[in-house]
Amino acid sequence: MKVRVAQICGFCMGVRRAMDLALDAAAKARPPVFTFGPLIHNPSALELLRSKGIEVLDHIPEKGEGTVIIRAHGIPPGEREALEKAGFQLIDGTCTRVVKVQMLAKHYSSLGHTCVLIGDRGHPEVKGIMGYAGENGVLVSSLEELKGLRLSGQYIILAQTTRDREEFEEWARMLLDRFPGGQVFNTVCDSTRKRQREVRRLCRSVDAVVVVGGRQSANTRRLAEIAAESGKTALAVETEEDLDLDELRSFGSVGVTAGASTPNWIINRVVSAIEQVPGRGEPLAGRLLYRLLRFLHETTAWTALAGGLLALSCGLLMGLTPQESWRAVAMASLYLFAMHTMNRIMDRESGAYNDPMRARFLVRHRKVFQTLSLAALFAALSIALQLGTVPFLALLALSLLGLAYSIRIVKQRALKDFPASKTIFTSLAWTVVTTVVPWSHTLESPSKWAMVGIPVLLLTLARSALMEILDIHGDRIVGRETLAVIMGEEGLMTLVTALLALLAVVAVAAPLFSAPVTLAAFAAPAAWGLFLLWSFRRQRLRQNLRMECMVELLFLVLFAATWALSLLARPSI
């Protein structure tokens, strides 16, 4: 099935912040930890919070203890005061855009203005805003209420942040025509407007639209309404289990969007499930290609192939022919297959969120892949032994470190639990197994390793960081302090940009300092990585099979560029 994912969907800024605060509170705040009312309108996310020990507080007791998280919708000031009086420690997760509406209502109400709020009656955000407006607040939730409204004196018009912008503007004009002199504050969240506009754009290029989100979510329901108004079949689901696969087969292409309270891991599951459905008129070749890529991805063969291409590129950079490098290529591929597979099997918790289909596949065939991993590791060590004692001992040490990565050995903590260890250990392992171990028996000086090893380290660091960006949600959920979690998604993307820019500079400048001209080949994967970052920032690529496969193509691009340059000038290091 051809699937188009809306460029803007899933957690908005306010919901993401509230979820991050809740996950941090689960580990650090004074227990017990509660959210005052459901944190967001998504059953899967709420179930996740319950699994972390965060319960929902649905009333304010006279006496309480622990921590209460105020949800992104906000609460009335009276309820905030009551929570504090009861003895709870508060963590304010109110969205900053909701706070703006609250403060406008509070300010103009204190001046004696009537505050007309256009919003959904009973919605928690509306309750909070009306609490700040007090006796001067008037709620309008339907055209009948709008037509029956009577105003006198000065007034302002506000909007619930998730309201439809076009509808709000129309209703505001109707009020101004009847009661001139009012002041309009268009407080519809820009994120809401962009999502709604994106759904309309998406409808022009697909046969149907799947809207992912909680059934109680107002903004999710509005997205489904907009899709239906556009003349497309709109299918609303909470998870992939709600999909009607038989109905999907009648469409040639499907768009996917999601409400602001929908977690990315749920969106990815839905997208993956739809992609596996044969679309109407879809050619057999396309289906076979997708199944092949899915198989290579789930079995870790795609990662192993990428490692082999990197080792082959290193051999060319060191002046060796592919025939002379085959042992190094096989050893690197087998080692990386073994390490990545075994660690993915052991790290099932984060895998269930980052790539649930691969996690389920590896769990289902766990014994087979455990056996294959051990066999691959034994074969890699055997090849290293053929190369010499030093390569064998180096790979043995690297293998023991890799096997210990997910095992708790230091104060009940595994190496993977140490901050930023995922990026550092992964990139070092890739660099050592493709540059140091294979050639330690042939090169006379460590400086010759460095000439190739430094750009390889920069490239593998960028590759590991890109993968961490894709896995940030699952790693944060399980409490892993990866570089992406520590720096944040935007911060890490800035770091990756700097790494790739530095790699490009090193690649271009290397031949100017008597280095082989083939080192300029690293400029090609640097450019490819920057393109992927650009696409990811603009939501043209998301955390799914396509993005991860395209990240591993860094090494195919390097090999192609190295091979082309080696035909022009054979390097001699």
Of the listed ranges 86-95, 96-105, 441-450, the least confidently predicted one is: 441-450
Kindly give, in sequence order, each residue whose CB lies less than 8 Å from that of residue 97, ignoring residues fewer than 6 positions away: 14, 161, 187, 189
Q: Cα separation of 345 and 571, whole Å?
A: 40
What is the band of 487 on the pLDDT scale with cuts at 50, 70, 90?
Answer: confident
* pLDDT in the model for residue 111: 95
Average pLDDT for residues 20-37, to the nearest whole number?
Answer: 89
pLDDT at residue 509, as a whole number: 86
Would you call 467 exposed, middle or buried from its count of C-beta atoms within 10 A (0-12, 13-18, 19+)? Answer: buried
Based on its alpha-carbon atoms, the radius of gyration of the chain, rounded to whole angstroms, reads: 28
Q: What mean pLDDT do residues 371-376 have?
A: 95
Give the pLDDT confidence score for residue 12 in this predicted structure.
80
| pLDDT score at 490 | 85
Q: The whole model's pTM is what? A: 0.78
Segment holding 31, helix H or strand E? none
Q: What angle do CA 563, 569, 573 make, to 5 degrees?
A: 90
Strands 208-212 and 67-70: unpaired
Token pair in block for residue 18: 């509230």
pLDDT at residue 27 is higher than 90 = no
Residue with tokens 């290193």: 314
Check pLDDT > 70 for residue 15: yes
The 10 Å Cβ neighbour count of residue 420 is 16
| Dihedral (Cα; 27, 28, 29, 32), 10-degree rounding | 30
Residue 438: what pLDDT?
81
Say which of 55, 125, 135, 238 is annotated catalytic: 125
Helix axes 366-387, 356-364, angle to 10 degrees: 90
Q: pLDDT band for 159, please (50, 70, 90 cuts).
A: very high
Question: What would the mean pLDDT of 327-343 be, rounded to a whole number?
Answer: 93
Q: Are 56 and 38 in contact (CB under 8 A)?
A: yes
Write down the pLDDT at residue 374: 94
pLDDT digits (tens, 9 = 90+) for 198-248: 899 999 989 999 999 888 787 788 889 898 988 889 999 998 889 988 899
* pLDDT tens, residue by residue, 443-472: 555 666 678 888 999 999 999 999 888 887
Active site annotation includes 125: yes
Please provide the distance, in angstroms rounded to a whole number, between the alpha carbons at the two ends of the chain: 49
CA 107 remoteness from chain centre: 38
User: Any idea which of 34-43, 110-119, 334-343 has the lowest mean pLDDT?
Assistant: 34-43
Chain-wide mean pLDDT for the chain?
A: 87
Q: How many CB atoms lie within 10 A of CB 59?
A: 6
Q: In whole angstroms, how far apart are CA 99 and each of 127, 157, 167?
A: 13, 16, 22
Q: Where are the alpha helices (DSSP H) in 438-544?
A: 446-470, 472-477, 483-487, 489-509, 523-537
pLDDT at position 408 is 64
Neighbours of 42 (CB within 10 A): 29
User: According to the model, what pLDDT value does residue 570 have?
Assistant: 55
